[in-house]
Amino acid sequence: MSFPFKKIALIGKHKNLEVQEPLLELAEYLTNHNYVVVIDELTASQMPDSAYSGLTLKEIGEQVDLAVVIGGDGTMLNIVRQLSAYNVPLIGVNQGRLGFLTDLSTDTMLETISAMLDGQYIAERRMLLNADVLRNKKCSFNSLAFNDVVMHRGVGSGMIEFEVRINDEYVYSLRSDGLIVATPTGSTAYALSSGGPILYPSLDLIALVPVCPHTLSNRPIIIGPEASVEILIHCSTEVRVHCDSHSCFDLRHADRIIVQRYPKTVKLLHPKDHNYYRMLREKLGWSGFP
C-alpha cells in the first residue's frame, strides 16, 4: 500500500444521482489539498460536465493508491470483487441502510478522510472466497465472493438434496432450501439471518450455514481457511448458486460447487476510532439493561 496517498479514485453507486453531490464535494476537497483525483467511468458517465478523468476499474486498480467508495454495502461488495487482484486499499462512505462495510458518514466525510489521509486509520485485511461450478468435469462458472457463496432453491421448487464434502471427506447429505458458505465479513449478512454465528471480520475462517434444513440437527459448521468445500447436487428442479448476490448460475443434477479461499485479500481502511463491537451494537440494535 502506498502511503502517503497521492492518486485517489472515487467510485459511486451506479445510477444513483444522490451520490454525485458528496462525490464532487470530496473530489474538490482532495484536489484543493493537492491529491490527484480520478472517478470510475460509470460514475463519470453520469456527470458529463465533470473535470475529472473517468477510468475503468482495471485502470483504477493499476494506477491509484487508494479508492473511496460512496454508496452502500452492495456497492462495496461489487467493487471489492473487481479490485481484489490489485491490492488497492478501500474506504467506504455509507449512503445505504446498514453500512457494515461503508462505515463513514457523508456528514463527517471530509473531516474523517482528511485525518485518514494523514495516517490516522486502522488497516484491516479480509478474505474472499472463490467458487467454481464443475459440470461434466469442466468449469462452467467461476466467481469471487466477499460475503458468501449461496446455493438456494427457486421460488416454485422443493427442497434441494445434496451432499457436502470438506477436503474430499464426506460430511453429510442434506435436504434443505440451500446452503451458505460465508466469510467472516458475510457472517453478518444472509448467514446471520439463517442462524449462523458472527465471526470477527479479520479472522481467516469459513462458515457453512444450512438454510431451513429438513433435519434440525444440521447446524452451522466453522472450518479453517485452507479447507476445500465441495457441494454435490443430487436432486433439484430449480436451484442457483449466487456469489454476493451479484453473479449467479443455474445448477443441474450432478453439478459440483467447489468453494475455496481466494489467495488474495482485501485491505479496508477504517477511522482511528473504529470499533467493531460498537458497530455491531449500533447496526443490530443491541443494548444494555433497560
pLDDT (tens digit per residue) in 38-52 = 999 999 988 877 788
Residue 238 belongs to a domain: yes
- 160 and 90 in one domain? no
- 135 and 42 in one domain? no
| pLDDT beyond 60 at 2 | no
Cα–Cα nearest to 228, from 251, 204, 252, 206 = 206
- 143 and 250 in one domain? yes
Specify which residues 135 forms β-bridges with: 138
What range defines the domain where residue 107 resides?
A: 7-127+265-284
Sign, Cα dihedral of 182, 185, 189, 194: positive
> What is the radius of gyration, based on Cα positions, of the chain?
20
The model's pTM is 0.93
Based on the structure, what is the number of domains in the chain?
2
Set of cell numbers at residue 72: 452502500
Instruction: List alpha helices for 33-139, DSSP H.
Output: 41-45, 57-63, 73-83, 109-117
pLDDT (tens digit, 9 = 90+) per residue, 191-220? 999 999 999 999 999 999 999 999 888 999
Q: What is the mean pLDDT of residues 64-79?
A: 95
| First-to-final CA distance of the chain | 45
| pLDDT beyond 70 at 133 | yes
Residues that are catalytic: 73
- 101 and 225 in one domain? no
Residue appearing with cell numbers 481467516: 204
Residue 2 belongs to a domain: no
- 183 and 141 in one domain? yes
pLDDT (tens digit, 9 = 90+) per residue, 13-24? 877 888 889 999
Residue 290 belongs to a domain: no
